[in-house]
Amino acid sequence: MFPPDGFHKSSLYQISAANASFVSSLAEHLPLAPAEALVELAAPLLEMKRNLPALLVVVFLGYAVVAAGQNINDPARIEVYVTPYYNSKGPTINVGPFSKGLGANSEPDFVATIAKMKQSWDTLSFPEVYVAAIRLYDLGFRKEAIYWFYSAQYRGRLLATLVDRDKMGSIGDPGFEFVQAANAFQQLVGPNMNGYAFGDIDQLVPIIERVQKEGRTIPDMNKIYPGVTFKNRSEWDTDNKGLNEGLGKLVETLKEQKASIKQQRIERAMEAKFSKLQSKELPK
């Protein structure tokens, strides 16, 4: 079932990126993993904004340009697997009722599935949204993919923030496994997505603002993630507010550092790698 070169995590999730040499782990009892601050642009960002929202900015960037040591063979395709949800070889998809349509070879069938998912937007889990983002990207709908990616990242972060850490359990328990999966998706999908997205800050900013606006409304977490024990509901609004403010700070940083981001991308050859990628409009 698992490719022989897979990276074994200390959970049920075996994750891998083709030729990737850097995969860091989420700190088990911290919603914001310090290891995730080791991304390009992290140092200058933290020098500018030394507070919690600034850390959230770095965390949301995930891999702002590309993580140190991360090798992207093909910028046009995201080659990852996060079991049991997604394997790019095939692809093999297991995220529930939309799986078959997301993996369809027929573009009309795939687009129809995306349309159905939009109708169920408020009840989609983060694995569903992540997998849709990957497929949108691979099939050339990259601007739309960025919106789905940041939406998935927000949902995964929300789960990791609201889960009751004292009752999260360990290997095999839903809470623990979802937190590990959220971290795996972000770390493995982020390099390609952000590598493309950060090439056009003017396009990226309104996408993030849209995700931030939608994120102010907390979905029914218990319904979306059955079996997961969350914190008391009285804590949800405050925790989500901090998460949401992180996106606001990210938008500010993108606007302020637009020229610097561009220059760093050029110096690291990211601009050359991703600038030739095109994006198709998703049919209405």
Looking only at the bridges linking them, the beta strands covering 80-82 and 86-87 are: antiparallel
Q: Does residue 128 belong to any structural domain of this protein? A: yes
Q: Does residue 214 belong to any structural domain of this protein? A: yes
* pLDDT tens digits, one per residue of 173-231: 999 999 999 999 999 999 999 999 999 999 999 999 999 999 999 999 999 999 999 99
Domain extent for 218: 42-74+120-274
- Angstrom distance (rounded) from CA 282 to CA 284: 6
Q: Does residue 58 belong to any structural domain of this protein? A: yes
Q: Does residue 63 belong to any structural domain of this protein? A: yes
E strand intervals along 41-161: 80-82, 86-87, 92-93
Q: Does residue 174 belong to any structural domain of this protein? A: yes
Two structure tokens written together for 112: 């129809």
Residue 115: closest CA among 283, 275, 237, 227: 283
Q: Does residue 33 belong to any structural domain of this protein? A: no
Lowest-confidence region among 44-48, 179-183, 265-269:
44-48
Q: Does residue 126 belong to any structural domain of this protein? A: yes
- Angstrom distance (rounded) from CA 262 to CA 244: 25
Cα–Cα separations (whole angstroms), residue 129 to 10, 117, 132, 257: 24, 9, 5, 29
Total number of domains constituting the chain: 1
β-pair partners for 14 = 8
Q: Does residue 12 belong to any structural domain of this protein? A: no
pTM value is: 0.81
